[in-house]
Amino acid sequence: MVHSQEMDEKYLKTIEFPKILERLAGFTSFSASADLAHSLKPVVDLDEARLRQKRTTEARLLLDLSADVTVGGSHDIRPQVDLAAHGGVLSAAELLDVKTTLVAARSLGRVFERQGIQFPALAEIALRLPPPGGIVDAISRTVSERGEVMDSASQKLANIRGQVKVAYDRLMGKLQRLLNDPKTAPMLQEGVITQRSGRYVIPLRAEFKGKIRSIIHDQSSSGATLFVEPIAVVDLNNEWRELQLAERDEERRILAELSREIGLHAAELQAVVAALAEMDLALACAKYADEIHAVEPVLLPFRNSGDKHPGSAIRLYHARHPLLDPATVVPIDMVLEDDVYSLVITGPNTGGKTVSLKTVGLMAAMAQAGLHIPAQSGSEISLFKTIYADIGDEQSIEQSLSTFSAHITNIIRILRRADRFSLVLLDELGAGTDPQEGAALARAILSHLLERRITNLVATHYPELKTFAHSTPGVVNASVEFDLKTLRPTYHLTVGLPGRSNALAIAARLGLPAEIVDAARSEIAPDELRADDLLDEIYHQRDLARRARDQADKLLADAEKKNARLADRLDNIDEERQKLLEQARREAEE
């Protein structure tokens, strides 16, 4: 299904998607592609999202095969091209930027002429890379690698520069003779030739003013030295200066001619820069994916599932928040069964509930923007039309609202806009007010989302929502775990089990008197205590199973390594046997 609606930037900012784009932009090679990276948005057309994913995948393969593939030397020459199209004259340095950009495009285009069949999605971009014919050669004949107009640009320029050199030599010769003349040398402050106002002068001591027929152009700050142009060299200075102006005019004529040529091909050159930027963005996506050890996600359309389910799917294996330290981030498995579209996460503060919500939001946004996601291969997620998030109280300060009011204001906005194709992420639903009313409100909001078949993930402290999730079709509990031995969260997410109440256990471990803890325990309903004890046993058995599975995985990995080593040894033995047989045969023949 194709949707024209774009993602709301407010909610993309809430899940920190712009920070992802900032890191992506760091892998680009020039400003045009960096601008594309900063403006990248999740798309809501499935075919377009899959095409972007394919480009990233192909770019990773291309870089694996040819690590030196680059758009290096490219510049965003579109402003200069636009100037030329409107009659402006480009400088030699600007023309050199045009040349290096077109050379980069030409070189990259040749890569795909040879390997385009392997990379069809990138080859489609490469079709726009070849520059208009003749421009590179014309600039090469005119502008040097130092950004200067060369003598060979025109015969007239070469002649003028020859004349400039002759006039300069004559001028310097005449001035040098004045410096060395025994009559004038004593009147000079020092024997040097310098320039003032574009004319060559000599330094005359002030007390000898008028002793040499000359024109005064300047004096030193102390007034002791006058910088004068002897009358004998005025004509030579004039000739040299006139030739310089003629050189400047000829250079400008040549640059104007080249600029007109560029202006005539403005549309083609703009397209080349756009193609280079798109190609560089694909390469940047590939480099960023390698940096975060990402994989291509499987993007799914919404399925037709009747009136009890929106048709969405979220199956993320070992998903890692891409902005956290990869050495310490704890992967999560966010896998919703086919009949589930609402998840209620409970657990301790700073235990990872918010990170889990943002991780899912970022996985969806990244996948739809064409970025590979930091997760295990085979991870799947639906293409959502919109992503809405109420996380934290970022609006409360600027609007002078309480935390509760800020949350509710944001949720009202979300409920007005969300539909069956939306993903809604709500952090601490109902928090910031009376617990009884907050729990009732949280349950009512969650029920409303379910009635409208809106995929949602909710983090909460309210135990009432655990019961609601357990007893309501389409909803499942999840929890972030807490280690009672270290009194620290583990950040592991468990889908299918609600969070345990750890308050009494934590209080006891921290040293609260046993009689107080026992008194508090007596105030809790026996059924709730039995439920907590049952959860403790379930978590214990689950941990044992996880450790056993980890041990089995380790043993399997070790066995595979041993098999590989044995295979190598067998290959070596066979090779050695062949060598011995060959040697024995040669010795027998001798």
Domain of 269? Answer: 21-132+265-291
C-alpha–C-alpha distance, residues 265 and 575, integer Å: 63
In a shared domain, residues 420 and 473:
yes
C-alpha–C-alpha distance, residues 76 and 104, integer Å: 12
Single-letter code of the amino acid located at 48: E
Per the model's pLDDT, the better-predicted residue between 362 and 195 turns out to be: 362
In a shared domain, residues 187 and 230:
yes
Would you state the pLDDT for residue 208? 84
In a domain, 455, yes or no: yes
Q: Residues of the chain with pLDDT > 90: what percent?
A: 50
Q: What is the mean pLDDT of residues 266-277?
A: 95
Would you state the pLDDT for residue 535? 52
- The last residue of a domain, from among 254, 276, 309: 254
In a domain, 202, yes or no: yes
C-alpha–C-alpha distance, residues 462 and 267, integer Å: 60
Single-letter code of the amino acid located at 209: K
Residue 153 has pLDDT above 60, yes or no: yes
Would you state the pLDDT for residue 572? 80
In a domain, 491, yes or no: yes
Residues 6+ apart with CB under 8 A from 405: 396
CATH classification of the domain holding 491: 3.40.50.300
Q: What is the mean pLDDT of residues 196-209?
A: 87
In a domain, 112, yes or no: yes
Would you state the pLDDT for residue 534? 45
Nearest C-alpha neighbor of 376 from the set 338, 333, 329: 333
**Cβ 80 vs Cβ 94: under 8 Å:** yes
Report in angstroms the alpha-carbon separations of 466 from 136, 361, 389, 446, 498.
Answer: 69, 22, 21, 12, 6
Residue-wise over 176-204: b if at least 16 C-beta within 10 A, else e?
Answer: eebeeeeebeebbbeeeeeeeeebbbbbb
Would you state the pLDDT for residue 279? 96
- What is the reported pTM? 0.79
In a domain, 463, yes or no: yes
In a shared domain, residues 427 and 367:
yes
In a shared domain, residues 286 and 302:
no
In a domain, 507, yes or no: no
- The last residue of a domain, from among 467, 501, 535: 501
In a shared domain, residues 310 and 432:
yes
Q: What is the mean pLDDT of residues 508-514?
A: 82
Residue 499 has pLDDT above 90, yes or no: no
Q: Which two tokens stand for residue 383?
A: 């293409």
In a shared domain, residues 115 and 164:
no
Which range among 359-373, 395-409, 556-570, 574-588 shows the weakest confidence by mean pLDDT?
395-409
- The last residue of a domain, from among 197, 231, 254: 254
Q: What is the mean pLDDT of residues 38-46?
A: 95
In a shared domain, residues 325 and 429:
yes
State the total domains in the chain: 4
Which range among 117-126, 350-359, 525-534 shows the weakest confidence by mean pLDDT?
525-534
Residue 401 has pLDDT above 50, yes or no: yes
In a shared domain, residues 304 and 418:
yes
In a shared domain, residues 348 and 490:
yes
| Confidence tier at 470 by pLDDT (50, 70, 90) | confident
Per the model's pLDDT, the better-predicted residue between 461 and 19 turns out to be: 19
Residue 255 has pLDDT above 70, yes or no: yes
In a shared domain, residues 173 and 94:
no
Q: Which two tokens stand for residue 434?
A: 């009376």
Range ranked top by mean pLDDT from 74-78, 219-223, 520-524: 74-78
Would you state the pLDDT for residue 66? 86
List strand residue ranges (DSSP E) for 292-418, in order: 298-300, 314-319, 332-335, 342-346, 380-382, 386-390
Would you state the pLDDT for residue 361? 96
Would you state the pLDDT for residue 580? 78
Q: What is the mean pLDDT of the chain?
A: 86
In a domain, 139, yes or no: no
In a shared domain, residues 345 and 446:
yes
Report in angstroms the alpha-carbon separations of 356 from 33, 88, 335, 424, 478.
Answer: 31, 55, 12, 13, 11
| Confidence tier at 1 by pLDDT (50, 70, 90) | very low
Q: Residues of the chain with pLDDT > 70: what percent?
A: 91
Would you state the pLDDT for residue 366? 97
Would you state the pLDDT for residue 525? 59
Per the model's pLDDT, the better-predicted residue between 311 and 68 turns out to be: 311
CATH classification of the domain holding 93: 1.10.1420.10
Would you state the pLDDT for residue 540? 52
Per the model's pLDDT, the better-predicted residue between 124 and 543 turns out to be: 124
In a shared domain, residues 467 and 406:
yes
In a domain, 274, yes or no: yes
Residue 370 has pLDDT above 70, yes or no: yes
